[in-house]
């Protein structure tokens, strides 16, 4: 132990004797470790933010979107899958609750949507999807026939439209939906109220404003009852939202909301919608609710057995998995690129250790002449390269902390350093010091003491 401490002391003395050279040698390690930790911390924060966004909306929310042509990748046909669904999902519409199959004379229990978990044939392969459209009639069908869904709302995203109040105008994101939307999105009313079912049925010209829209256009004026214009059409402000922050990079604070029927009649000029969002009554029945919704929409769209769906259904859980997968892939890619500098740093350490061996050849000869063994010289130079690399790693952790502080303080992004990348970075720095120091250390250990003493 005493010998190890002595070698570490010699290593630090060697580093401090050539401060600038040592710093330049460690620079690759410092940048590599700092970059890898910073990238992984940003990725961790992004995953935490995504998970938080999902939880704020609810993990029992499903989204239905129009179909986009997608090739069939399953070994079985879409029709066979549907027939399995239809055999296993029989719902009693009359009472509003699903009954077990034995009550319907259809065999043993387990296939209903309620009264236990449904028996669902899991399919890992993607089913074929063809292009299609969604309509308000689809929303009505789901409301009338579904036993597992509630708070079903159409969503029509109109993009950025011209918004004006008095002499102020600008482009604002417009979302058209129904009175159910706040309960699905988690948005809270600040002033006034959200529009009602009456407003949707009668296509009234009312609007609910996001928090930033109120701040930017009204200042301290109470906007309730004020007249605004959207693409030249007059609307009355009936409510405002509390600040909602960002969800998946988008914010309701910079958006306005109007009844979907008003948008179709006055702004959109079309009867289609972008998506349908609904909440499943229980998280235990998400898969069953998706199957039920597929069955209802296939019937609504007159899709025959064997024909592919012209719509897609996804759950919050699937969205979370997809977003996490994308984030992980991005973090791994960026971290791998940043890790290249660690390799460069390792090569720099090897180079400087070779220089150090050459410079200290006479010292090596003296140590061997007074009894030092090859093993002692090998350990000494390995210790120096490891200390050099580890010092760079520790400094890199400090750099990562600085980067994280800058990101959290001066940008809208968030960064969260976890213990795992720090431990991995330190371990990797140590390994680099050992691997790239072994050749110079072996060269030093093999030097002849007689030849070393003659070296000038």
**Distance from the Cα of residue 259 to its chain's centroid:** 31
Residue 397 and residue 37 in contact, taking contact as beta carbons nearer than 8 Å: yes
**Distance from the Cα of residue 424 to its chain's centroid:** 23
**Distance from the Cα of residue 392 to its chain's centroid:** 31
Q: Provide the pLDDT for residue 250.
A: 60
CA-angle at 169, arms to 166 and 175, nearest 5°: 110
E-strand spans in 84-232? 134-135, 149-165, 168-177, 189-192, 206-209, 227-230
Residue 378 and residue 448 in contact, taking contact as beta carbons nearer than 8 Å: no
What is the full per-residue pLDDT of the chain (456 aa) written as tens digits? 677 787 788 778 877 888 888 888 888 888 888 888 888 888 877 777 766 666 555 668 888 999 886 554 443 333 344 334 333 433 333 333 333 333 333 333 333 333 333 333 344 456 778 888 999 999 999 999 999 998 899 999 988 999 999 889 999 999 999 999 988 888 889 999 999 999 999 999 999 999 999 999 998 899 999 999 999 999 999 999 998 776 555 678 889 999 999 999 988 888 899 999 998 888 788 889 999 999 999 999 999 988 999 999 888 776 667 777 777 787 788 778 777 878 888 888 888 888 888 888 888 888 888 888 888 888 888 888 888 888 988 999 999 889 888 888 887 667 778 888 888 888 888 888 888 888 888 888 888 877 777 665
Q: Provide the pLDDT for residue 455.
A: 64
Q: Provide the pLDDT for residue 70.
A: 56
Q: Provide the pLDDT for residue 247.
A: 57
Residue 239 and residue 192 in contact, taking contact as beta carbons nearer than 8 Å: yes
Neighbours of 178 (CB within 10 A): 24
Distance CA(404)–CA(44), nearest Å, equals 12
Q: Provide the pLDDT for residue 233.
A: 93
In three-state secondary structure terms, 206 is strand
CA-angle at 221, arms to 216 and 223, nearest 5°: 80
Neighbours of 270 (CB within 10 A): 10
Please spell the DSSP secondary structure of 242-298, one letter per residue. Answer: PP--EETTEEGGGEEEEEHHHIIIIII-SSEESEEEEEES-GGGHHHHHHHHHHHHH
Q: Provide the pLDDT for residue 97.
A: 39
Distance CA(438)–CA(443), nearest Å, equals 9
Residue with tokens 């990079």: 249
Please spell the DSSP secondary structure of 377-429, one letter per residue. Answer: HHHHHHHHHHHHHHHHHHHHHHHHHHHHHHHHHHSS------HHHHHHHHHHH
Q: Provide the pLDDT for residue 88.
A: 41
pTM (2 d.p.) = 0.58
Q: Which residues contact 336 (CB under 8 A, 6 or more apart)?
A: none
Q: Provide the pLDDT for residue 71.
A: 54
**Distance from the Cα of residue 281 to its chain's centroid:** 26
Neighbours of 294 (CB within 10 A): 22
Neighbours of 427 (CB within 10 A): 12
Residue with tokens 């390994």: 431
Q: Kindly list the distances between the CA atom of residue 27 and the CA atoms of 32, 37, 117, in Å, as whole numbers in the listed order.
A: 8, 15, 58
Q: Kindly list the distances between the CA atom of residue 106 and the CA atoms of 84, 112, 117, 177, 275, in Å, as whole numbers in the listed order.
A: 14, 11, 17, 40, 35
Residue 172 and residue 163 in contact, taking contact as beta carbons nearer than 8 Å: yes
Residue with tokens 């990797």: 428
Distance CA(350)–CA(151), nearest Å, equals 65
Please spell the DSSP secondary structure of 322-336, one letter per residue. Answer: HHHHHHHHHHHHHHH
Distance CA(279)–CA(151), nearest Å, equals 6
Per-state percent for the chain, helix, strand, coil, to nearest 5: 55, 20, 25
Phi, psi of 173 (to 5 degrees): -70, 130
Residue 192 and residue 224 in contact, taking contact as beta carbons nearer than 8 Å: yes
Distance CA(5)–CA(216), nearest Å, equals 64
């Amino acid at each position: 132990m005493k010998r190890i401490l002595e070698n570490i002391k010699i290593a630090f003395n060697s580093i401090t004797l050539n401060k600038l050279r040592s710093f330049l040698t460690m620079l690759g390690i410092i940048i590599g470790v700092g970059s890898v930790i910073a990238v992984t911390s940003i990725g961790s924060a992004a995953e935490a933010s995504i998970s938080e966004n999902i939880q704020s909306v609810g993990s029992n929310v499903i989204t239905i979107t129009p179909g986009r042509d997608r090739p069939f990748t399953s070994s079985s046909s879409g029709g066979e899958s549907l027939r399995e669904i239809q055999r296993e999902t029989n719902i009693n519409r009359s009472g509003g609750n699903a009954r077990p199959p034995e009550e319907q004379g259809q065999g043993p229990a387990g296939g209903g949507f309620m009264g236990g978990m449904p028996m669902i044939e899991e399919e890992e392969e993607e089913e074929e999807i063809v292009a299609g459209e969604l309509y308000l009639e689809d929303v009505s069908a789901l409301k009338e026939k579904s036993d597992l869904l509630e708070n079903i709302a159409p969503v029509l995203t109109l993009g950025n439209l011209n918004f004006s109040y008095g002499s102020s105008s600008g482009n604002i994101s417009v979302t058209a939906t129904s009175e159910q939307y706040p309960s699905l999105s988690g948005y809270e009313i600040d002033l006034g109220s959200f529009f009602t079912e009456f407003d949707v049925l009668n296509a009234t010209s009312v609007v609910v404003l996001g928090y930033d829209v109120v701040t930017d256009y009204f200042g301290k004026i109470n906007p309730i009852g004020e007249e605004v214009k959207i693409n030249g059409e007059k609307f009355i402000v009936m409510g405002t939202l509390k600040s909602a922050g960002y969800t998946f990079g988008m914010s309701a604070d910079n958006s306005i909301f109007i009844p979907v029927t008003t948008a179709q009649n006055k702004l959109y000029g079309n009867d289609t919608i972008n998506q349908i969002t609904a909440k499943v009554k229980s998280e235990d029945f998400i898969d069953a609710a998706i199957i039920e919704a597929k069955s209802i929409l296939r019937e609504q769209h007159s899709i025959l057995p064997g024909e592919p769906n012209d719509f897609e259904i996804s759950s919050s859980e699937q969205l979370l998995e997809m977003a996490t997968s994308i984030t992980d892939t991005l973090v791994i890619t960026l971290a791998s690129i940043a890790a290249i500098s660690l390799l460069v740093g390792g090569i720099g350490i090897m180079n400087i250790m070779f220089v150090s061996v050459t410079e200290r050849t006479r010292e090596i000869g003296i140590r061997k002449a007074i009894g030092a063994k090859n093993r002692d010289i090998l350990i000494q130079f390995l210790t120096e390269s490891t200390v050099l690399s580890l010092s760079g790693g520790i400094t890199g952790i400090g750099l990562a902390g600085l980067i994280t502080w800058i990101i959290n303080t001066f940008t809208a992004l968030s960064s969260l350093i976890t213990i795992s990348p720090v431990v991995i970075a330190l371990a990797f720095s140590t390994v680099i010091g050992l691997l790239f120091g072994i050749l110079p250390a072996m060269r030093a250990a093999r030097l002849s003491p007689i030849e070393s003493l003659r070296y000038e």
